[in-house]
Amino acid sequence: MGGDPTTWFISGCSTGFGRSLTQAVLQAGHQVVATARDRDSIADLVARAPDRAIALELDVTNPAQIMAAVAQAEARFGRIDILVNNAGYAYQSSVEEGEEARIRAMFDANVFGLFALTRAILPIMRRQRRGHIISISSVAGLLGLAGSGYYAATKHAVEGWSDALLAEVAPLGIQVSCVEPGPFRTDFASRSLERTDCGIDDYVQTVARRMQAAGGADDDRPGDPDRAARAIIAVALAPDAPRHLVLGGMGHAMVMKRLAERIDEIGGLGEVARSADFPRP
């Protein structure tokens, strides 16, 4: 998208990656539609550049708020160049102990809300014949960890959907990327993590241990959200952006190890795979 200022629409800007990214985008001279469920929580961000930013109330599970926010964004700036789907949270439990209502609520925010917001902005990008849709996924979108099965399922859903979306919109000049962070110092465990405690002894060494590690001190996490924001901006503005951006050394190592294991496993079953075909004449 060159060096000209672009218009960003970012969901979930009150804390974490959304806040760091909004600050960095404004510092870089771009325009931002910053959104959060509580608009007052992002008023300070917009106050830094009132000529280039607006703060809007948005709960991505509320269709009326989505349509209103997108309409206000287009009315103010005339275009949306980059959509960052950042709003969402995590729910932890063993698969067996997962609570139906809490699982569905997380899917509404992390998956269906993300889908709905993207659908609302796609017509603008199609008219422009340019745009970039960036979804903040997780390393959990590329692998699964004990205690995070349902959270991983939301992120895997977004990853598969993004593959299909890219196939549909790439010919229209629209790019699609997922950002897959590992552990970062975003207060995620204290502010965006819900859980059903492990109460089954058989899962103590897997689920309970993993939950304890995930709820550790934020200062122990190696990732810097401000540095991550700069990396996201670089990818967002690249003319040939990658489909995947894994962030953080720990997350990158985890993903590479798992993908290598998967290639080895699937590659070693080639004969079995071909045996399921009709015999060739």
Catalytic residue numbers read 137, 151, 155
Q: In Å, how far from its chain's centre is CA 262?
A: 23
Q: Look at the block and give the residue holding tokens 């309409």.
A: 71
- C-alpha–C-alpha distance, residues 119 and 125, integer Å: 10
The encoded tokens of residue 99 equal 């609570």
Structure tokens belonging to residue 68: 């209103």
Residue among 131, 120, 136 nearest 184 (CA): 136
Question: Which of 129, 162, 160 shows the shortest CA–CA distance to 242?
Answer: 162
Compute CA distances 224 → 2, 43, 228, 245, whole Å.
Answer: 26, 23, 6, 15
Q: How far apart are the first and last CA of the chain?
A: 52
